[in-house]
Amino acid sequence: MSTKVFITGSTGYIGGCIMEAMVKNPALEITALLRTITEEFTTRYPKVKIVKGDFDNFPVIEAAASNAEVIVHAGDMDHPGCVNAILSGLDARTKRQEKSFLLHLTGTGCLSDERTNPWDGKLNPWTWNDIEHIQKIYDLPEEALHHKIDRQIMDASNEFCKTACICPSDVYGQASGVANRGTFMVPLYVSTAMIRQETFFLGAGENTKDVVHVEDIATLFILLLEHAIRGGGEAQWGKEGFYICLNETPVQIKELAEAITKLGVAQSWLPKDAKPVSWTAEQVGSILPHAPRIARYLWGSNTRAIAARAKALGWKPVQKPFWESLEEDVSIAVATTKEKLAAKARKSKA
């Protein structure tokens, strides 16, 4: 007997990996929300049903969610309209007394100390544990990154609708899905360093971030999906259904800057005498002028945690460690940046 699954974000970095893993299970009847339907997608996934729409298309998302037994929301984690549409569809299922499960992708930005400036560029010894500190996590303020929607998801769980938040740390590695295959933290750093001809860290650069390979995130989603198919299985849901996802090998930002500098010099896109430079919070924020808070979160804050709940369920990271993946991630980021700069130059001449 098949299980109906509705997925958002199936052409994204993380969502694409989840989709690639789900289609290997013939017992899943998958529907994907797509803003743009491409030949690449339909050729690769001929058995996947497509509903056309974007995250603002409430009726389309609501109807698809109402018809699905499991929803994988791997799209824009901070889009309230999309989440409200999904929850409205699930509410319709609850009223019909039909069971459903929601797997929501969030991120450890909610756990970072980016809201407390004294930690900018400094090491914060605090380490989160998603079992021991679940009440602290639930009680995070609304202004914590992603948390307003996370809490909405946690509170939506009931007798018929079970919800879980999957919370990866900063992500690395190349994805297996269609469209967006590159990581985020490293490419943005590399493109900034290429354009400004300078690598950087905030303050002393002692702040440390947990990381996880994108394919290991997909593995956790699939594990929770399998438990959902069994009616919930041994997984926890609702308030307790908060799953931190990381490999517990933290990366210090100054060490990252030094490693990327060495690669930049070796690959000849940085000067031979290049050395990482300490930047101010304002300089780091200028990388994303429309969202300086996100830039400071990425390179100026600490996020350290233990994936206790996922481990208790049997999940463990198995992909290449961050440092073994870095050269490939940097090389691909360099090539992508060069392509974008060349396209921009051609456009300016046109």
Q: What is the pLDDT of residues 210-262, one digit of tens each?
A: 999 999 999 999 999 999 999 999 999 999 999 999 998 999 999 999 999 99
Residue 179: the pLDDT is: 66
Overall average pLDDT of the 296-306 stretch = 95
Q: Tokens 């031979």 correspond to what residue?
A: 272
Share of the chain above pLDDT 70, in %: 98
Distances (CA, A) of 196 to 39, 85, 287, 299: 37, 42, 10, 16
Residue 184: the pLDDT is: 75
Q: Sorting pLDDT into bands at 50, 70 and 90, what band is 326?
A: very high
Overall average pLDDT of the 264-280 stretch = 97
Residue 12: the pLDDT is: 93
Strands (E), 218-292: 242-245, 251-252, 277-279
Overall average pLDDT of the 128-142 stretch = 97
Mean pLDDT (the chain) is 95
8 Å CB contact between 131 and 182:
no
Provide the sign of the torsion angle of the four alpha carbons 222, 134, 55, 100, taken in this order.
positive
Residue 177: the pLDDT is: 81
Query: Against a cut of 0.75, is the pTM above it?
Result: yes
206: tokens are 């002692």
Q: Is the pLDDT of residue 182 over 80?
A: no
Alpha helix ranges (H) inside 37-125: 39-44, 58-66, 80-95
Overall average pLDDT of the 36-60 stretch = 96
Residue 181: the pLDDT is: 66
Overall average pLDDT of the 310-317 stretch = 98
8 Å CB contact between 303 and 115:
no
